[in-house]
């Protein structure tokens, strides 16, 4: 049988999406398979920080340098995904002051431009900082939209002819005469099994990497570090704020458009399914963040989410925080490559390195250009920031469907015309609809109405999509629901259970 694809990529997170774009730019025939939605693994569960590298600088200088270099590139090639907030590292009363010198020296060695500033200057940059802060260091951190980053890479790959099958899970590898030459995958929406062949398979399935490697008889020893993140309903800081101490829980505050992401934790877990966010994690994050930004105590929490960092098990590492956040590429020399670890913001570099190896194996001579060629929306000059998009509200020709995220009806219509999806979550991933402060309360039914108008859903199947969407939102809301947020949820319940009769429909 003829090979149809040069390359099958398993995994639609930042790594897989980056490889799809890079390899499509080099002329390869690419197929990417993702078992769920795009960015449904660690990428969609990350804290959306464009690391300056400083967090790792005292322990893992190579990863720190990598982060800083990619930070500079990502600001240029993914302009529309990045908000150049800047960042601070702060100590609070009682923190080990000797770590500050170690931190400054290590940054100098890594050539990461940081500046020790006085407390008043720090408070001017970030008025919400606690009066208990002592040392303040300015660093080149930034914030990013991980979903948009993945979608943009995928769009670019599609424009170059790549095929992207989401909701398609690789169940097994096709191995002939000791060589991996394809995959057996299950299309969950069409409910059919497919055999798909390629000259090379790239395993970019993140935490599931060892499961895929095992299908070809390879052992990839991974340690799983669960991390949880909380989202407040407003923006608590102007800039990214980090605790200036060796990496620990509840160290980072990332402003993300109109909300704030607080995190994270590191809990070793043995399995990847049904991850739970514990109340201990929620409390730890709030207590630690409050030492830097006390306003968090009065914040309303919208939701929490959790993800797993796949860390390559080093023999010498004593705990997960000591395992390198760098990435590893394994050429299994049998038609398959695995790529493991790294950071979301080093995705481009990871894709470049693995694509270099893939091109060598496939005999493709093209060089990598992803460090200089911007992503599609950056090329079109589109802006992501709320303040830039707020003018949409006063534009009489544009109708806003999701007011929290300022998503227009046209944007949703475009996704629906292109995909004909019956799943509101597909629209969420592509546009951010329903990710804002109302968590879909005021936009989900409007989007469903649009689907009905376009004959995509009917009376019978329409509400199923609504229930699925609301249940997914609820899973994230439950771990942090408290105070005034309960009233908001009662309103949501009132709208959907009473007016739309959805609770009755679910029971039937």
Ligand X SMILES: Cc1cc2nc3c(=O)[nH]c(=O)nc-3n(C[C@H](O)[C@H](O)[C@H](O)COP(=O)(O)OP(=O)(O)OC[C@H]3O[C@@H](n4cnc5c(N)ncnc54)[C@H](O)[C@@H]3O)c2cc1C
Residues within the interface to ligand X (CB under 6 A): 10-16, 33-36, 40-43, 45-49, 51, 169-170, 204-208, 227, 229, 264, 307-309, 342-345
Q: Nearer to ligand X by C-beta: 95 or 251? A: 251
Q: How far is the CB of 272 from ligand X (least distance, A)?
A: 9
Q: Are strands 336-341 and 192-203 parallel, antiparallel or unpaired?
A: parallel
Pair of tokens at residue 186: 């299950």
CA–CA dist 270, 448 (Å, integer):
39
Residues forming a β-bridge with 243: 90
Q: Nearer to ligand X by C-beta: 201 or 457? A: 201
Q: Nearer to ligand X by C-beta: 173 or 424? A: 173
Q: How far is the CB of 35 from ligand X (least distance, A)?
A: 4
Report CA 457 to chain centroid distance, whole Å: 29
Q: How far is the CB of 498 from ligand X (least distance, A)?
A: 35
Angle in degrees, CA 388, 37, 266, rounded to 5: 85
Q: Nearer to ligand X by C-beta: 50 or 457? A: 50
Q: How far is the CB of 253 from ligand X (least distance, A)?
A: 11
Q: How far is the CB of 401 from ligand X (least distance, A)?
A: 26
Q: Nearer to ligand X by C-beta: 49 or 289? A: 49
Which 3 state secondary structure label does DSSP give 304? strand
Q: How far is the CB of 340 from ligand X (least distance, A)?
A: 8
Pair of tokens at residue 276: 């739970």
Q: Nearer to ligand X by C-beta: 342 or 376? A: 342
Q: How far is the CB of 175 from ligand X (least distance, A)?
A: 16
Q: Nearer to ligand X by C-beta: 90 or 502? A: 90
CA–CA dist 47, 246 (Å, integer):
18
DSSP conformation class of 250: T
Residues forming a β-bridge with 255: 260
User: Any alpha helices (H) in 111-159, and if so which ranges?
Assistant: 119-125, 146-159
Which 3 state secondary structure label does DSSP give 194? strand
CA terminus-to-terminus distance, the chain: 48
Q: Are strands 87-92 and 240-243 parallel, antiparallel or unpaired?
A: parallel
Is the distance from CB of 415 to CB of 409 less than 8 angstroms?
Answer: no
């Amino acid at each position: 049988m003829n090979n149809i694809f040069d390359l099958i990529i398993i995994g639609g997170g930042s790594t897989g999406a980056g490889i799809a774009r890079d390899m499509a730019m080099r002329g390869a025939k690419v197929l990417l398979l993702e078992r769920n939605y795009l960015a449904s693994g660690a990428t969609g569960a990350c804290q959306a920080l464009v690391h300056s590298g400083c967090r790792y600088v005292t322990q893992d200088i190579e990863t720190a340098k990598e982060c800083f270099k990619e930070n500079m590139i990502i600001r240029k090639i993914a302009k529309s995904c990045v908000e150049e907030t800047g960042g601070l590292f702060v100590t609070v009363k009682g923190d080990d002051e000797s770590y500050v010198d170690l931190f400054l020296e290590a940054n100098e060695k890594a050539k990461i431009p940081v500046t020790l500033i006085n407390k008043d200057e720090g408070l001017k940059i970030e008025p919400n900082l606690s009066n208990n802060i002592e040392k303040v260091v300015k660093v080149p951190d930034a914030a990013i939209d991980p979903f948009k980053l993945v979608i943009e890479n995928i769009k670019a790959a599609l424009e170059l002819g790549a095929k992207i099958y989401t909701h398609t899970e690789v169940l097994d590898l096709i191995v002939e005469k000791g060589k991996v030459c394809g995959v057996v995958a299950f299309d969950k929406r069409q409910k059919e099994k497919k055999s798909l062949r390629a000259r090379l398979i790239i395993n970019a399935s993140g935490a599931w990497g060892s499961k895929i490697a095992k299908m070809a008889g390879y052992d990839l020893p991974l340690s799983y570090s669960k991390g949880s993140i909380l989202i407040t309903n407003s923006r608590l800081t102007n800039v990214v704020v980090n605790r200036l101490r060796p990496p620990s829980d509840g160290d980072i505050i990332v402003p993300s458009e109109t909300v704030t992401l607080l995190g994270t934790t590191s809990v070793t877990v043995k399995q990847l399914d049904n991850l739970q966010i514990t109340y201990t994690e929620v409390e730890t994050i709030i207590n630690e963040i409050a030492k830097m930004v006390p306003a968090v105590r009065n914040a309303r929490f919208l939701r929490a989410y959790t993800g797993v960092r796949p860390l390559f098990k080093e023999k010498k590492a004593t705990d997960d925080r000591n395992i390198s956040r760098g990435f590893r590429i394994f050429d299994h020399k049998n038609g398959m490559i695995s790529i493991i670890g790294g950071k979301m913001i080093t995705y481009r570099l990871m894709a470049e390195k693995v694509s270099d190896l893939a091109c060598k194996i496939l005999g493709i001579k093209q060089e990598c250009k992803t460090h200089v060629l911007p992503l599609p929306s950056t090329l079109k000059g589109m802006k992501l920031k709320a303040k830039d998009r707020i003018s949409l509200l006063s534009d009489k020709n544009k109708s806003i469907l999701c007011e929290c995220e300022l998503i227009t009806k046209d944007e949703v219509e475009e996704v629906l015309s292109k995909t004909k999806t019956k799943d509101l979550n597909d629209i969420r991933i592509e546009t951010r609809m329903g990710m804002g402060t109302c968590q879909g309360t005021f936009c989900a039914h409007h989007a469903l109405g649009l689907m009905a108008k376009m004959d995509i859903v009917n009376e019978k199947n329409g509400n199923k999509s609504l229930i699925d969407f609301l249940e997914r939102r609820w899973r994230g809301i439950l771990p942090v629901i408290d105070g005034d947020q309960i009233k908001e949820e009662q309103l949501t319940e009132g709208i959907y259970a009473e007016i739309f009769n959805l609770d009755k429909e679910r029971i039937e």
